[in-house]
A and B are shown apart, each in its own frame.
Chain A
Amino acid sequence: MGKDSHYTRNFCIIAHIDHGKSTLADRFIDMAKLVSSRGPVQQQMLDNMDIERERGITIKSQAVTIPYVAADGHSYELNLVDTPGHVDFSYEVSRAIGSCEGALLLIDASQGVEAQTLANMYMAMELNLEIIPVINKIDLPSADIDACLHQIDHDLGLDPDLACLVSAKSGLGVDKLFEAIVELIPPPRGDVNAPLRALIFDSHYDPYRGVIIHFRVFDGSVKKGDSIQLYSTKAVHTVEEVGIFKMGLVVTDGLSAGDVGYFIAGIKTIRDIRVGDTVTLADNPCTSPLPGFKEVKPVVFSSIYPVDSNDYEELQEAIDRLKLNDASLVYEKDSSAALGFGFRCGFLGMLHLEVVQERIEREFNLSIVFTSPSVQYIVHMKDSSVISLDNPLEYPEPMKVDYAEEPYIRAEIITPTTYVGNIMSLCMEKRGIQSAMNYLDEKRVELVYEMPLAEVLFEFYDRLKSVSRGYASFDYHVIGYRKTDLVRLDILVNGEPVDALSQLVFKDNATYRARAVCERLKDEIPRQMFRIPIQGAIGGSIIARETINAYRKDVTAKCYGGDIGRKRKLLEKQKEGKKRMKMVGNVEIPQQAFLAVLKTTDSKN
């Protein structure tokens, strides 16, 4: 405290995925000599989780304070807030951005402006951030700087003269960028003497210290021993420690208006705090919270079951542990006739679901099965009651249903003109309704569609990439509910419905979907002792059918006394190998089959 916030700059980097956000953040850290260039440097320092590094995406926001001596001779503190890079996490992005005064809008020189470039820029503009356009990857032979400058001017409406040219990879131009940050991004405003008003933009769980809250102080100050209050829940906690982010947590005496840092206040679980919430002092509260707080709501739901029912408790522990660091993961106990005990979970999107799946399998070494993901539907009953549901098993008797509604999104797609035709037919197939088509320039078009969320959740993104050879980019947000024609598709294996494979589908898609699922199951379920029919059914009527032929096993050889133990061990080994199978009735369904079906959400190509 007592330092001058005039020498502080809070900024974030926003970009379309893969445009180099994490790489640039690394360069900043290197250049600021925070990280010795001699030591073994982890790639992309800010992406802490293995999965983030592997997939090259940022899932959680991170922050770091970089000391910088500018050309004017003054020492500055540059607070970089790294933001998640995927649409699933756009609310977190908005909170992270909200804790800054400026944003570096990164554009890949070989790709130009893409959908998330625009979406992120709008978000930053709404929050009144100073935006510095940065053209990255200028070292690439395919870099087209002139085109980028033109797009900055034309598509983004920003001043191309302000653009910085960098190579985040080599570090070229990064020193100039530092200067631009100091010059162009305003120092934090805010009243140190006003009551505390701070924004929570993230948090993480530390097994030894509890929840560590990442926050930005807008007004007032906070120090160890203060009683703070969380605005949304009114809960009061005593601050045990405050500090800033360097390569780890560094304790400071306190933080005041303009600072970005963390505090620890004996908060046991991440559920007790909300990203976007306002922190104030209990005995001297601010009069109004910071704007923009909202509860993040999951949009995709699926149940997780252990492949081996004995692993149920381990699964519970795994999910509990994940939840410690992932407030957006919601879950409750669930059970299925086919799969036993499990958990119904809500996710922010398919990526979020995949990340959770991978982490459970990898970090906790559990084999799990996911049921078909679903969005949340609103069902209007004939008795005029209304229910909302995401679990196909809860779908009421069709006779009693008046009509159902499903969530719709507004999708913004930017594509080179060449692929407009392909994309339009893809969107049409996905029940999209075009609401705009804007030519950004001679070569690129922005298409705006309203589509059911259920259609884009499942592999729309992959299809879009393939029909546009990777050139189209995409962003979406939920706009509300619309009437739909919904049916429940059941899958029967050997005559028994496998509840885990039931799904709610748009009626006209049901037959395609049923066929695709049956075909996939036929490929994935190994032949067994008897013939196994696989059927897709709506109500009582079968709409798709496949058969797995019987498989006959070899007979055994002689069985001497000494063989008995050996044969038993063989049997035990075999059983071990079948652990990744789930018994449904008498049929062993491998985990792979469930996963394959999960991906079989589109069948029309």
Chain B
Amino acid sequence: MITPACASYSGCSLYIHVPFCIRKCDYCPFFSKDNESAQSVNLYFDALFKELNEIVFSKDRPFETVFIGGGNPGLLGAERLMKIARLLNEKGKVREFTIEMNPESLTDDMEVLFSSSKVTRLSIGIQSLDERHLKTLMRSASLSATLKALERTAYYHDRYGTDISVDLMTCIPSQKVEDTIADIDTIIRRGHVDHISLYNLTYEEGTKLAERLSSGSLIPIAEVQQREFLITLWDYLEENGYHQYEISNFSRTKETRCLHNERYWNLSDYIGVGPSAVGTFHDGESVIRRTGVSDIETYCTENDEKRYIFEELSSKEQILEYLLVSLRKNEGIDKNDFNKRFPIDFSTFFSTQLKMIERQFGSITVDTRDNFRLLRDGLLLCDSFIELFADPVFDLSDPLDR
């Protein structure tokens, strides 16, 4: 179990977590450190490269998709990123290779990643193009750096065919929906982006923003209003040719969707490498979740038994996760796929829920023989639908026998 079984076959994806940031943003719940010493970054990279080497060595084909995220992977520098990209492309070309980066890290020397075509996709964390909102979030990038980055993405897009994606946030306190619309306009016009991840600000436990919220020094956008924001923005993106394919993801074409994320949402096998990185993969009949310990030193000095936590997912947990990700997708739940994966029949097992939904929510859902999915207004109630479907699952006894 130490070396994930999936490492040795194709059709697997890889996530790499780079746990460094220039400065910690106030809303961020991810594991990352700001102000790490160059030495610490070196140690991390050595450990990472060693691990990747071992994994690649054991494989006879490239990973289907690779995603380097963080943190801010840009902080590794072009040279190290290129080293990783070369290594991972050694067994053949990776179909989709994404690097996430904050705008200020997208310097000229990064060009080689894209010109070499080793990295096919660039995801820029912009969040907002308004100084006021950037300040609320305590983002480190300045507006000018962000605009400069958009110039570069446009260039990479046009010159090397790099797929460009942007992370954008809305419902930031005191934000107006027009602010986000303006952001979208700028991004589309300047950045030549193919893909936008749009999500509303959430207040995650343990973040400074959550603290400010509970102390009352921050007034969140009211829930009803948040919903109006999203509807407006979803429509706006659609009008501009960005089609929603998951609750917070929009793509110009089917080809420019994020394949890597789609694989998460299909519960395909992937491994996660680095502190706090999560992977889920089959090991024979069982499904294993492997989670990196959120500690850089542990990652650099310990072996896999110590730096990763392994747990086996019960069928019940797998069903819950399947529902959770599927209902967020525009395509919804593929009933045949569900029935193939789990020893229960979707339509029979959820018949009470489906009947109730037909009565109460017939207009915002679609239920066909092969599919169940939420329409736009249904997606706004996604969490509630997830809860609804999850309810009978909790009462299942584990393990489920086929």
Verify if B252 is at the interface (C-beta below 8 Å from A): no
Q: Is B43 an interface residue (CB 8 A)?
A: no
Considering the chains assembled together, what is the distance between the CA atoms of A561 and B277 in angstroms? 9
| CA of A136 to CA of B186, assembled, Å | 87
Chain A nearest Cβ from B7, distance in angstroms: 16
A162 at the interface (CB under 8 A from B): no
Known: A555-B230, A555-B383. A310 touches B395 (CB 8 A): yes
Beyond A561-B270, A562-B277, A571-B387, is A530–B379 a contact (Cβ under 8 Å)?
A: no
Which B residues are in CB contact (< 8 Å) with A552?
223-224, 227, 380-381, 384
Question: Does B117 interact with chain A (Cβ within 8 Å)?
Answer: no
Tell me if B320 is interfacial: C-beta within 8 Å of chain A: yes
> Contacts A553-B384, A555-B227, A557-B200: A564 and B264 contacting too (C-beta < 8 A)?
yes
- Choose one: A310, A571, A583; the contact of B324 (CB below 8 Å): A571
Given contacts A554-B223, A564-B325, contact A571 B278 (CB under 8 A): no
Residues of A within 8 A of B291 (CB): 562, 565
Q: B321 interface residue, CB < 8 Å from A?
A: yes
> Which residues of B are found within 8 Å of A585, using beta-carbon distances?
356
> Which of A552, A567, A568, A575 is the most central at the interface, judged by chain B CB atoms within 10 Å of its CB?
A568
Establish whether residues B320 and A572, one from each chain, have CB atoms under 8 Å apart when the complex forms: yes
In the complex, how many angstroms separate the beta carbon of A549 from the nearest chain B beta carbon?
Answer: 13
In the docked arrangement, what's the CA distance between A564 and B319, Å? 12
Binary per-residue interface labels of chain B (364-388) against chain A in the complex, 1 for a CB within 8 Å, 0 otherwise: 0000000000000001111110111
**Interface membership of A232, Cβ < 8 A:** no
Does chain A have a CB within 8 A of B85? no
Residues of B within 8 A of A567 (CB): 324
- Residue of A530, A555, A561, A562 near B247 (CB, 8 A) is A555
Contacting A568 at CB < 8 Å: which of B224, B265, B317, B395? B317
A554 to chain B, nearest CB (A): 6
The CA-CA distance from A310 to B69 in the complex, in Å, is 43
Whether the pair B381, A561 counts as a contact (CB closer than 8 A) is no
CB of A529 closer than 8 Å to a CB of B: yes
Q: Are A561 and B278 in contact (CB under 8 A)?
A: yes
The answer to whether A560 has its CB under 8 Å from any CB of chain B is: yes
Please pick, from B201, B230, B381, B390, the residue contacting A571 in the complex, using a CB distance under 8 A: B390
A478-531, CB < 8 A from B: 529-530
Assuming the contacts A557-B248, A558-B199, A565-B278, asked whether A529 and B320 have C-beta atoms less than 8 A apart, the reply is no
Contact: B360 with A529, CB < 8 Å?
A: yes
What is the bound-complex CA distance between A310 and B394, given in angstroms? 11
**Known interface pairs A530-B360, A562-B272; A555-B321 also in contact (CB < 8 Å):** no
User: Do A560 and B328 have beta carbons less than 8 Å apart?
Assistant: no
**Chain A residue contacts of B391, Cβ below 8 A:** 575, 583
The answer to whether A574 has its CB under 8 Å from any CB of chain B is yes
A574 to B277 alpha-carbon distance, docked (Å) = 25
Q: Please, which residues of chain B bring their CB within 8 A of the CB of A560?
A: 69, 261, 264
Q: How far is the CB of A526 from the nearest CB of chain B, in Å? A: 12
> Which of A530, A554, A561, A572 is in CB contact (< 8 Å) with B383?
A554
Q: Chain A residues near B265 (CB, 8 Å)? A: 559
Contacts of B381 in A (CB 8 A): 529, 552-553, 555
**A558 and B226 in contact, given A530-B360, A564-B324, A575-B390 (Cβ under 8 angstroms):** no
The answer on a CB contact under 8 Å between A553 and B325 is: no
CA distance A552 to B324 in the complex (A): 18
User: Whole-angstrom distance between the alpha carbons of A535 and B230 in the complex?
Assistant: 36
Does A556 have its Cβ within 8 Å of any Cβ on chain B?
yes
Chain A proximity of B281: nearest CB distance (Å): 11
Is the CB of A586 closer than 8 A to any CB of chain B?
Answer: yes
Counting CB contacts under 8 A, is B152 at the interface? no
Known: A565-B321, A571-B386. A558 touches B264 (CB 8 A): no
Q: How far, in angstroms, from A552 to B226 measured CA to CA in the complex?
A: 11
In the bound complex, how far is the Cα of B394 from the Cα of A585, in angstroms? 17
- Bound together, the chains give a CA A567 to CA B278 distance in angstroms of 13
Residue of B nearest to A571 (CB): B390
Instruction: Tell whether B197 is near chain A: CB-to-CB under 8 Å.
Output: yes
Chain B, residues 16-55, CB within 8 Å of chain A (1/0): the string is 0000000000000000000000000000000000000000
Q: How far is the CA of A572 from the CA of B316 in the complex (A)?
A: 11
- Judge if B351 is at the interface, Cβ distance under 8 Å: no
Task: Give residues 549-605 of A contacting B (CB, 8 Å).
Answer: 552-562, 564-565, 567-568, 571-572, 574-575, 583, 585-586
Residues of A close to B279: CB separation below 8 A: 561
Q: How far is the CA of A568 from the CA of B388 in the complex (A)?
A: 14
B-contact 0/1 string along A26-65, CB 8 Å cutoff: 0000000000000000000000000000000000000000
A102-144 CB contacts (< 8 Å) to partner B = none
Interface residue B301 (Cβ < 8 Å from any Cβ of A):
no
User: Which residues of chain B have C-beta atoms less than 8 A from A310's C-beta?
Assistant: 395
In the complex, the chain A residue whose C-beta lies closest to that of B279 is A561
Quick one: given A556-B382, A558-B248, are A575 and B270 in contact (CB under 8 Å)? no
Q: Does B162 contact A (CB under 8 A)?
A: no
Q: How far is the CA of A16 from the CA of B224 in the complex (A)?
A: 58
B133 interface residue per 8 A CB criterion: no
Query: Which residues in window 264-282 of B have CB below 8 A to A?
Result: 264-265, 270, 272, 276-280
> Do B248 and A574 touch across chains, with their CB atoms under 8 A apart?
no
Please determine whether B248 and A559 come into contact, CB atoms closer than 8 angstroms: yes
**A529, B384: Cβ atoms under 8 Å?**
yes
Chain B residue numbers with a CB within 8 Å of A586 are 352, 356, 360
CB neighbours (8 Å) of B248 from chain A are 556-559
Which chain A residue lies CB-closest to B270? A561
How far does the alpha carbon of A315 sit from the alpha carbon of B395 in the complex, in Å?
A: 18
Distance in angstroms between the alpha carbons of A469 and B324 in the assembled complex: 57
Q: Is the CB of B324 within 8 A of A568?
A: yes
Q: Please, how many angstroms separate the alpha-carbon atoms of A559 and B226 in the complex?
A: 18
Q: Which residue from B226, B320, B395 sits with its C-beta under 8 Å from A554?
A: B226
On whether the beta carbons of A555 and B387 are closer than 8 Å, the reply is no
Q: Kindly list chain A residues whose C-beta atoms are within 8 Å of the C-beta of B58.
A: none
In angstroms, Cα B390 to Cα A568, docked, is 10
Residues from chain B with a CB closer than 8 A to the CB of A572 are 320, 394
Q: How far is the CB of B396 from chain A (nearest CB, A)?
A: 11
Q: Distance in Å from the Cβ of B320 to the closest Cβ of chain A?
A: 5
How long is the Cα–Cα vector from A567 to B265 in the complex, in angstroms?
Answer: 13
Measured CA separation A565–B384 after assembly (Å): 18
Tell whether, in the assembled complex, residue A556 and residue B264 are in contact, meaning their CB atoms are under 8 Å apart: no
Q: Digit string of A391-409 for contact with B (CB within 8 Å is 1, else 0)?
A: 0000000000000000000
B320:A568 contact, CB within 8 angstroms: yes
From residue A483, how far is it (CB to closest CB) to chain B in Å?
44
Task: Tell me which residues from 260 to 316 in chain B have a Cβ below 8 Å from any Cβ of chain A.
Answer: 261, 264-265, 270, 272, 276-280, 289, 291
- On whether A571 and B320 interact (CB within 8 A), knowing A529-B381, A556-B247, A559-B325, the answer reads yes
Residue ID in chain B nearest A529 by CB atoms: B384
Interface: B202 (CB within 8 A):
yes
Separation in Å of the B307 CB from the closest CB of chain A? Answer: 15
CB pair B390 A555 closer than 8 Å: no
Question: Can you list 29 A-B pairs with a CB-CB distance of less than 8 A?
Answer: A529-B384, A530-B360, A552-B381, A552-B384, A553-B381, A555-B379, A557-B201, A558-B167, A558-B199, A559-B246, A559-B248, A559-B264, A559-B324, A561-B15, A561-B264, A561-B270, A561-B278, A561-B279, A561-B280, A562-B15, A562-B272, A562-B278, A564-B264, A564-B321, A564-B325, A567-B324, A571-B386, A583-B391, A586-B360
Other than A567-B324, A572-B320, A572-B394, give 11 A-B pairs with Cβ distance below 8 A: A529-B360, A556-B202, A556-B247, A557-B200, A558-B199, A559-B324, A560-B264, A561-B272, A562-B278, A564-B324, A565-B291
Q: What 5 A-B pairs are tightest by C-beta distance, nearest first?
A: A562-B278, A561-B264, A557-B202, A586-B356, A553-B384
